[in-house]
Amino acid sequence: MANLQGSIGEGALAQRRAATARDPMIWAFVAALVLLFWVPELILYMGWAKFWIQFATQVFIWSLFAMSFNLLMGYAGMISFGQAAYLGIGGYTAGLLLKNIAGLSFYLGLAAAPLGGALAALIIGYFCVRRTHIYFAILTLAFGHIVYLIAFKWYGFTGGDNGVIGIPVPGWITEPTFANYYKFVLVISVAAIYLLWRIVNSPFGRALTAIRENPERADFIGIPVDRYRLYAFVLVGAFSGLAGALIMVNDRSVYPDLAHWTQSTQVLLMSLLGGVYTFFGPIVGAVLLRTMDADITQNYPEIWQLFLGGVLVLILFGLPGGIVGFIQERDIGSGDDHATRTAKLLRLFRRKSWMFLGGALLFTTFFSILQSPGAWLLPRTRVFEPFALATWGIVPCALLQLVVGAAALWLLLRRVDRFNRIDGALLLILPIAALVLHVYLGTPLSGLLIVLLWVIFTVYSLVQADFRRAYRLGRPPNGGG
Amino acid sequence: MLLRVEAVTKSFGGFVAVRDVSLSVERGRTACVIGPNGAGKSTLFNLITGHLQPTRGQVFFADRDITGRPPHTICQLGIGRSFQRTNIFPRLSVFDNLQIAVLSHQRRTLNMLTPARALVHDETMALLDSVGLAGEERSTSGTLSYGLQKQLELGIALASEPQVLLLDEPTAGMSPQETADTIALIGRIVRDRGLTLLFTEHDMDVVFGIAERITVLHQGAVLAEGTPEEVQSNEDVQRIYLGEAE
């Protein structure tokens, strides 16, 4: 039996090796591109607000910015507090070139943005990479602020706090539904993120990880550590510059705010929330932060900071690996056999599901409190209607969610070890209840977010190799071995 | 002489850690540096591998002056080393630990676009086998037992196909059984690859078992140098070192 498994393993390995040069992930990126490409048409067709098109565009740009930032923080272990500088420099490079050179091709101006970001990162990084840890962080912060001040004060060149306005942009991008701008940003971001994906999985990416893990050892396997740190810094500067130019295109203007340090903290938070040691974590972080921003800042601007602080504390204590890190976390020893691994995965899946329910409840209850503050037991203003959840009062509403959610989850989790496909499908669609609830509460985005995270979580968990095998067999693995 | 250290001195402020030490190792030989704690063994290693700059003196490798070169250059020239405190990439898998070392040796780490997953797979697996880690390739290296981590570190050092291997206390903190296994492993690798070995060690059985030349350091200076027999019969050595140890 062991021999059989061994030979199967080697066969798969040989196939994998044959596919060295190919990267199957490209199909995932292409699929994402194709699917997302038609979202504006869907939104317009359904008659939803155009705001959502702009919202999605923002998410793409911030995802690109956050993921490039995470190449530094998560992969190379360099925490930069001054990434906004390169966002700003990218925006200003493209903006100033397009504004001041009449007849310059728009695409050339755009292509100059990553070059500008890279050049600035080369000069600043040359000094910063000589220090590590907190000294590196403070240096990047200091240089970042210098960049901001130059943009803010040098009226003759950057326009100072008036910014650069009236930047010429092709008409087709700025058509009023934002659909074209959305597609423009989508294509560039997906391509750039795919490039980042290739970079972090290349030998260079591995070298950066080695440097993060142990710079001394990395040095003594022949990697020139400081130089590689600088390369990473320059690369990330280029991607940040590109993100800055994408923001500029929408506004047709650039302001010093783009380079302000608060923007740097945004990407830091996105990476932390989503998961630092994961590639896709920052996307989740960007979606999450933008969603909460849209749901909360619009309606309750005064508590946005409080909310952000609260979420951050919860994440750092509860899920130190971020959300994607939490989803991916598992504890499997190399010596475990198939049955042990499956048992461990099951235990972990159940525990995580309950934690997920707890998190979702906390999230929704928080929104109920926002919705009608003080209405703990009964709504204050509105009349109680049994079929309109928003009129239920906070505590009964939370209790109802707890009871219904826990009962449904308990029933399904109890049966998960039978590996019945229908149960699996039911698990997958469970969060639709949460979505309905959020639509009632007037925060559909948060509901969507819960659905999205849950689907990612269940799919990721249930397609683990051991689970997949169990599902194919349609029974627990104990008998099969 | 493949490796030659000529009159190196290293002082930290007023403290002289290594004083006027000369040492040379012939190609294919096994040499050992011994001495009590604080004698300057690790400092000497760090001077050879570029982690520290000598205050005075020179280091030659294959008749080439390598004094003051950065560690990554010295590694690329053909000197591999392990560290006294185990020095691996703890959160990476065993395979990844060795793979990155092989990639670096082949100067492929500037490749930013090819997926690394399956590159140098066979070389890495062969290396993995040769240091006795077969079957552990997917384990997170930081969770391995101490002995296995030391074996992994040896593998990382070997990835650069060095001519000289510097091992700083390869059996420190090991049980007698682990010590015996490790020494057997090192002996086999050195023989198979025709390596020149320079190591430090506190276990005298190990030292006199495999070393062909021994240099005794005491308070940063060379106290004695010679074959195991010569060193063993040296009165100074017996007085200050072997005597104390008994």
Residue B125 Cα to chain centre, angstroms: 22
Q: Quick check: B111 and A23 CB within 8 A?
A: no
Beta strands B56-61 and B213-218: pairing type? unpaired
Q: CA B10, CA B67: separation in Å to the nearest integer?
A: 12
Domain residues for the domain of B233 are 3-245
- Say if residue A126's pLDDT is above 60: yes
User: Considering only CB atoms, which chain A residues are within 8 Å of B83?
Assistant: 216-217
What's the confidence (pLDDT) of residue A408?
84
Band of residue A10 on the pLDDT scale cut at 50, 70, 90: low
CB-based burial, A4-36: b 16+ in 10 Å, e otherwise: eeeeeeeeeeeeeeeeeeebeeeeeeeeebeeb
pLDDT of residue A333: 61
Q: How far is B69 from chain A (nearest CA, A)?
A: 12
How far is it, in rounded angstroms, from Cα A447 to Cα A435?
A: 4
Integer Cα distance of A277 and A289 in angstroms: 18
Contact A39, A180 (CB under 8 A): no
Q: Given an 8 Å threshold on Cβ–Cβ distance, is B90 in contact with A210?
A: no
Residue with tokens 């296994």: B181
Domain count, chain B: 1
Question: B72 vs A201: CB contact, 8 Å cut-off?
Answer: no
CA distance A229 to chain B (A): 12
Distance CA B234, CA A232 (A): 55
Q: How far is CA A231 from the centre of its chain?
A: 24
Structure tokens, B144: 């391995």
Query: Which among A238, A241, A318 has a CA at the least distance from the CA of A275?
Result: A318
CB-based burial, A468-478: b 16+ in 10 Å, e otherwise: eebeeeeeebe
Q: Is A451 helix (H, G, I), strand (E, B) or coil?
A: helix
Where are the domains positioned within chain A? 23-301, 330-473
Closest-CA residue of A relative to B153 is A217
Residues of chain B with pLDDT under 70: 241-246
Q: What is the pLDDT of residue A469?
A: 76
Count of helix runs (H) and strand runs (E) in chain A:
22, 0
Task: With a cut of 50, say whether residue A337 has pLDDT above it.
Answer: yes
Cβ-nearest to A221 among B75, B115, B121: B75
Specify the amino acid at residue B117: R
The CATH T-level fold of domain A23-301 is ABC transporter involved in vitamin B12 uptake, BtuC (1.10.3470)
Q: CA–CA distance from A438 to each of A336, A365, A368 (Å)? A: 42, 10, 9
Q: State the best of B113, B120, B133, B138 to mutate against chain A, taking most chain A CBs within 10 Å.
A: B113
A222: chain B residues, CB-CB within 8 Å: 72, 75-76, 104-105, 160
Encode pLDDT of A309-320 as tens digits.
887 888 888 888
H or E element that contains A8: helix A2-18
Q: What percentage of chain A carries pLDDT values higher than 70?
A: 88
Q: Are A342 and A470 in contact (CB under 8 A)?
A: yes
Task: Give the number of beta-carbon pairs within 8 Å between A and B.
Answer: 117
Q: For A268-385, where are the E strands, in sequence order? A: none
Q: Would you state the pLDDT for residue A12?
A: 53
Out of B111, B121, B136, whose CB is closest to A204?
Answer: B111
Indicate the pLDDT class of residue A448, thresholds 50, 70 and 90. confident
Cα of A419 to nearest chain B Cα, Å:
27
A156, pLDDT greater than 50: yes
Query: HEC profile for chain B?
Result: CCEEEEEEEEEECCEEEEEEEEEEECCCCEEEEECCCCCCHHHHHHHHCCCCCCCEEEEEECCEECCCCCHHHHHHHCEEEECCCCCCCCCCEHHHHHHHHHHHHCCCCCCCCCCCCCCCHHHHHHHHHHCCCCCCCCCEHHHCCHHHHHHHHHHHHHHCCCCEEEEECCCCCCCHHHHHHHHHHHHHHHHHHCCEEEEECCCHHHHHHHCCEEEEEECCEEEEEECHHHHHHCHHHHHHHHHHHC
Is A47 a residue whose pLDDT tops 90?
no
How far apart are alpha carbons B122 and B213 in whole angstroms?
36
Structure confidence at residue A391 as a pLDDT band (50, 70, 90): low
B29–chain A nearest CA distance, Å: 23
Residue among B85, B119, B83 at smallest CA distance from B101: B119
Query: Which pLDDT score is estimated for A481?
Result: 36
| ipTM entry | 0.89
- Higher confidence at residue A320 or residue A66? A66
Residue to substitute from A26, A71, A202, interface B, most B β-carbons within 10 A: A202
Give per-residue pLDDT as tens, A399-440. 888 888 888 888 888 877 777 778 788 888 888 877 887 777
pLDDT band, residue A193 (cuts 50/70/90): very high
Q: What is the pLDDT of residues A88-111, one digit of tens each?
A: 999 999 999 999 998 889 999 999
Q: What CATH number is associated with residue B144? A: 3.40.50.300
Q: DSSP per residue over A70-90, as a string?
A: HIIIIIS----S-THHHHHHH
